[in-house]
Amino acid sequence: MASSLIGSRVERKEDKKFLTGKGRYTADINLANQTYAYFVRSPHARATISKVDISKASNAPGVVKILTGDDLAKDKIGGLIAGWKIVSQDGTDMKCPPHPPLANNTVNFVGDHVAIVIAETLDQAKDAAEKVRVDYKVLKAVVNTGDAMNSKPIHDGIDKNLCYDFLLGDKGKTDEAFSNADKVVKLDLVNNRLIPNAMEPRAAIGDYNPSSEELTLYTASQNPHLSRLILSAFNAVHPEHKFRVVAPDVGGGFGSKINAYAEDVVVAWASKKIERPVKWVAERTESFLSDNHGRDHLTHVELALKNDGKITGIKVETIANLGAYALVFATVTPTYLYAPLLIGPYDIPAACCNVKTVYTNTAPTDAYRGAGRPEATYVVERIVTEAAKEIGMDQAEFRKKNFINKFPHQQCLVHNIDSGDYNAHLDKALELSDYKNFENRRSQSSAKGKLRGIGFSTYLEACGIAPSAVVMSIGAGVGLWESAEIRFNATGNVSVFTGAHSHGQSHDTTFAQIVGEKLGVPIENIDIIHGDTDKGPFGMGTYGSRSLAVGGTAIVKACDKIIEKGRKVAAKMLEAKPEEVEFKDGEFIVKNSNKKKTIGEIAFACYLPGTYGDIKSPLPEGVEPGLVETSFFDPSNFSFPSGTHICEVEVDQDTGETKVVKYTVVDDFGTIINPLVVEGQVHGGVAQGIGQALYENAHYDESGQLITASYMDYTMPRADNFPEFKLGFTSTPATSNPLGAKGCGEAGTIAAPPAVMNAVIDAIGEDISMPATSEKVCNALQKNKKNKEAA
């Protein structure tokens, strides 16, 4: 029974509540005596504020309190933080502007927070908010990534709007590779700005209890402990030991719920001030405006080649748009989560990457599903495809010629790749996608008047973040270990506490499978608990495809401790030596005998350590009662999933409309615990990646107004935009964790954009930028036609 749990398609334990509408999200929580908050936000991209006049609004019906940046400053509430210090190539530290949760004299993007209006009802709060008079002096906004460095600073003292000028790699060695190259291939690329669009908009409730002096913050967060740490240590909202952060059911995050947001700080602080609960729930347009956005890079890339197709060097220059302020993971995302991955799965001896991150009057950007790796993979897979074309080699052959094929492999930038087999997933993908008959399919499409194209993406990513010592040495403000606690209850069922929050990743199922497998307890008797700082030990949260590799391993280690303690207790009860007792499928068995105890009996014994009637379970000397074990796991290395995606598109020659018609994925995620869950993660990731390539784009006009602030204009892909995805897997287990798990949450989003764009470009014969909208494709087709006619 037990041994079949790992790798089996167990149906999701959490489906019942979610599919029957019984999920309990922050917005579903209503507290006695609760008030409702509405935020006054800047309608301007950039302005100074001379006065916030709340006098009229304060007298509006139902208003309980209106708070502004002045109040915040008086109470010495700290600003929002960038959690990762990046150092420029000249040795200076990155430059971050102040980021008060409510504006202090200036606003820097449309949606920036100016005041909180708290009233007895939401409508009253909204009515009163209309009466708050803010005197803005509108200033010229800096909107475009490419303009930022040539524009006047938007923040005092931040020259050229430059946060840092980062360099990774050996420039001299790379230049040498380029001067010895037979061929150099170049591309200029845009990585479009995206809005994460979690299904559940953000929400927060602050609830201060004046009697116990405890503050509770309910918030849609991916990492409640981290939020509590930031809110107490940096924002000084409340001391950590009197502060509880609860992230109940959370409807998707994709990175947009990592940050402790202004709204979190403000409702928590406000509830202390008014001694009543303060509830805020984002409306969809507020999410569009103020959730952190993702991507937004301009990149120039060059690849050095030998005539035989061997890549000898890669050189990358990127400008990354931070938006108005620097958020928690915002500064590391375009540097250490990006630059090291620019080598891809290839054996490239020399590489060098320069990243300049700039401030603009747009919503702040931060980690968004994939965080840095989609940006890097887009660069590598576009240039590699271009190189194969220019050199006249088949895309698969060119890649194989350059793949890393010996492991471990120390890359020339940062990573030491422990394991992989890139030929294996490429070959499998070629087969699954029926690559050899592609030209037939192209002819069939052509007969229907459609242009068909094919695109490859062979990606390598780094997840399972991360070894704390390594990340702290490169500026991380926290360690990236994970915790687990296993509590056996006296009746034999198990409560498992994990720091890895689940907001769509199916931890309730996957982690239960791991514990079920390790301890031989049926998964119905295992409860996975997360999302409440008052329940389990401090945990770092869920992002960077880390939950299984890091959090899952902490669980494994806690299970091992349980087994070790259980073995001692069982030995005593079975009158044997601990080393004679084996544990298998939930039973402690004395070797070469039929003497055994189930783990449930042992748990019971641990809670009744003595003799009473039929109960005879004195504990061995020195063994404490109870059966609870905690473990903190800090990985020795990142993990390195890889895979091959092959995309085929069809383009309507008249309208330019582009559809993905065939999509094949073969991933190597190391050990897979639950294929059903993993396939779901891949489907969602690929859908998001196709979204970036063909549909999604955050569009600001010249004045900094967000034009795509609702679903009327922001193109979220829908089910009918996708064909059925064909999935396959290969497996080379990770060596950095005992599960062999590599991580699967972001791979689809990482690999898909270049696969799709390579296919589009193959179909139309012209380079175009993401998203490949119908009009852009149509224009490119016309350009192509004109060029052909001219030739």
Partner 1 sequence: MKGFNFHSVKNVKEAKKLASGKSAFLAGGMTTIPAMKLRLALYSDIIDIKNIKDLSGIKVSSKSLRIGATTKHAEVASSKEVKRAISSLAHLADGIGDPQVRNRGTIGGSIANNDPAADYPSACLALNAIIHTSDRKIGADKFFKGMFETALKKGELIQTVEFQVPDKSCYVKFPNPASRYAIVGVYVAKYKKEVNVAVTGVESVVFRCKKIESALKSNFSSSALDSVKISSSGFNSDIHASSDYRAHLIKVLAKKAVAGCK
Is residue 714 near partner 1 by the rule CB under 8 A? yes
- Residue number, 489 or 653, with CB nearest to partner 1: 653
Q: Phi first, then psi: what are they for 584, rounded to 5°?
A: -155, 135
What radius of gyration do the chain's Cα atoms show?
A: 28
Residues 6+ positions from 787 with CB-CB distance below 8 Å: none
Interface residue with partner 1, options 88, 703, 715, 735 (CB under 8 A) = 715
- Residue number, 59 or 655, with CB nearest to partner 1: 655
Q: Which of 312, 492, 527, 490 minimizes the C-alpha distance to 401? A: 312
Please state whether beta strands 351-359 and 311-323 pair in parallel, antiparallel, or not at all (unpaired). parallel
Q: Considering only residues 635-674, where is the footprint of partner 1 by CB under 8 A?
A: 654-655, 657
Q: Considering only residues 10-29, where is the footprint of partner 1 by CB under 8 A?
A: none
- Residue number, 633 or 695, with CB nearest to partner 1: 695
- Residue number, 32 or 712, with CB nearest to partner 1: 712
Residues 6+ positions from 177 with CB-CB distance below 8 Å: 304, 312, 313, 349, 350
Q: Considering only residues 365-384, where is the footprint of partner 1 by CB under 8 A?
A: none
Helical H segments across 148-261, by residue range: 171-179, 224-233
One character per residue 75-114, x = contact with partner 1 (rule: CB under 8 A): ----------------------------------------
Taking the complex as a whole, how short is the minimal distance between the CB of residue 653 and partner 1, in angstroms?
10
Quick check: 758 and 455 in contact, CB under 8 A? Answer: yes
**Interface segment toward partner 1; rule CB under 8 A; list 105-113, 373-381, 665-673, 703-711:** 703-711
Quick check: 124 and 132 in contact, CB under 8 A? Answer: no
Q: Considering only residues 682-701, where is the footprint of partner 1 by CB under 8 A?
A: 695, 697, 699
Interface residue with partner 1, options 447, 712, 790, 791 (CB under 8 A) = 712
In the block, residue with structure tokens 């409640």: 224
Taking the complex as a whole, how short is the minimal distance between the CB of residue 200 and partner 1, in angstroms?
18
Quick check: 645 and 459 in contact, CB under 8 A? Answer: yes
**Interface segment toward partner 1; rule CB under 8 A; list 334-342, 560-568, 626-634, 714-722:** 714-722
- Residue number, 433 or 692, with CB nearest to partner 1: 692
Residues 6+ positions from 76 with CB-CB distance below 8 Å: 236
Interface residue with partner 1, options 8, 209, 705, 708 (CB under 8 A) = 708
d(CA 96, CA 73): 19
Q: Considering only residues 263-322, where is the footprint of partner 1 by CB under 8 A?
A: none
Q: Which of 640, 649, 664, 743 minimizes the C-alpha distance to 694? A: 649
Taking the complex as a whole, how short is the minimal distance between the CB of residue 124 and partner 1, in angstroms?
10
Taking the complex as a whole, how short is the minimal distance between the CB of residue 715 and partner 1, in angstroms?
4
Residues 6+ positions from 141 with CB-CB distance below 8 Å: 44, 45, 46, 154, 360, 361, 702, 703, 704
Helical H segments across 111-187, by residue range: 122-129, 171-179
**Interface segment toward partner 1; rule CB under 8 A; list 123-131, 240-248, 609-617, 679-687:** 123-131
- Residue number, 61 or 98, with CB nearest to partner 1: 61
Cα torsion angle, 660, 664, 667, 672, sign:
positive
Type of residue found at 692:
Q
One character per residue 761-780, x = contact with partner 1 (rule: CB under 8 A): ------------xxx--xx-
**Interface segment toward partner 1; rule CB under 8 A; list 182-190, 206-214, 541-549, 707-715:** 707-715
Residues 6+ positions from 55 with CB-CB distance below 8 Å: none
Interface residue with partner 1, options 1, 16, 716, 787 (CB under 8 A) = 716
Interface residue with partner 1, options 15, 397, 624, 713 (CB under 8 A) = 713
H or E stretch at 172: helix 171-179
Taking the complex as a whole, how short is the minimal distance between the CB of residue 161 and partner 1, in angstroms?
25
Type of residue found at 569:
V
One character per residue 328-357, x = contact with partner 1 (rule: CB under 8 A): ------------------------------
Is residue 208 near partner 1 by the rule CB under 8 A? no
DSSP annotation string for 411-462: -SSS-EE----HHHHHHHHHHHTTGGGHHHHHHHHHHTTEEEEEEEEEEE--
Taking the complex as a whole, how short is the minimal distance between the CB of residue 695 and partner 1, in angstroms?
6
Quick check: 194 and 697 in contact, CB under 8 A? Answer: yes
Interface residue with partner 1, options 9, 711, 786, 787 (CB under 8 A) = 711
- Residue number, 73 or 199, with CB nearest to partner 1: 199
d(CA 635, CA 614): 45
* Tokens matching residue 658: 């582009």
- Residue number, 176 or 657, with CB nearest to partner 1: 657
Taking the complex as a whole, how short is the minimal distance between the CB of residue 61 and partner 1, in angstroms?
12
* Tokens matching residue 5: 């749990």
Angle between helix axes 675-690 and 747-764 (nearest 10 degrees) is 40
**Beta strands across the sheet bearing 628-633:** 526-529, 494-498, 482-488, 628-633
Type of residue found at 425:
H
Taking the complex as a whole, how short is the minimal distance between the CB of residue 649 and partner 1, in angstroms?
15
Is residue 783 near partner 1 by the rule CB under 8 A? no
Rounded (10°) CA dihedral 585, 587, 590, 594:
-90
32 burial (CB, 10 Å; 0-12 / 13-18 / 19+) is exposed
Interface residue with partner 1, options 53, 75, 123, 534 (CB under 8 A) = 123
- Residue number, 124 or 335, with CB nearest to partner 1: 124
**526 bridge partner residues:** 494
Taking the complex as a whole, how short is the minimal distance between the CB of residue 706 and partner 1, in angstroms?
11
- Residue number, 719 or 790, with CB nearest to partner 1: 719
d(CA 791, CA 788): 5
- Residue number, 161 or 773, with CB nearest to partner 1: 773
Taking the complex as a whole, how short is the minimal distance between the CB of residue 713 and partner 1, in angstroms?
5
Type of residue found at 727:
L
- Residue number, 285 or 735, with CB nearest to partner 1: 285
Taking the complex as a whole, how short is the minimal distance between the CB of residue 652 and partner 1, in angstroms?
9
- Residue number, 502 or 697, with CB nearest to partner 1: 697
d(CA 635, CA 647): 34
Taking the complex as a whole, how short is the minimal distance between the CB of residue 38 and partner 1, in angstroms?
11
Please state whether beta strands 494-498 and 351-359 pair in parallel, antiparallel, or not at all (unpaired). unpaired
Taking the complex as a whole, how short is the minimal distance between the CB of residue 775 and partner 1, in angstroms?
5
Q: Which of 293, 214, 94, 133 minimizes the C-alpha distance to 697? A: 293
Taking the complex as a whole, how short is the minimal distance between the CB of residue 361 and partner 1, in angstroms?
19
Quick check: 246 and 214 in contact, CB under 8 A? Answer: no
Number of H helices, E strands in the chain: 19, 30
Is residue 126 near partner 1 by the rule CB under 8 A? yes
- Residue number, 127 or 482, with CB nearest to partner 1: 127
**Interface segment toward partner 1; rule CB under 8 A; list 207-215, 393-401, 410-418, 712-720:** 712-720
Taking the complex as a whole, how short is the minimal distance between the CB of residue 382 and partner 1, in angstroms?
23
- Residue number, 25 or 695, with CB nearest to partner 1: 695
Angle between helix axes 747-764 and 373-391 (nearest 10 degrees) is 30
Size, binding site for partner 1 by CB under 8 A = 22
Taking the complex as a whole, how short is the minimal distance between the CB of residue 699 and partner 1, in angstroms?
5
Taking the complex as a whole, how short is the minimal distance between the CB of residue 721 and partner 1, in angstroms?
8
Taking the complex as a whole, how short is the minimal distance between the CB of residue 691 and partner 1, in angstroms?
10
Residues that bind partner 1 (CB under 8 A): 123, 126-127, 654-655, 657, 695, 697, 699, 707-708, 711-716, 773-775, 778-779
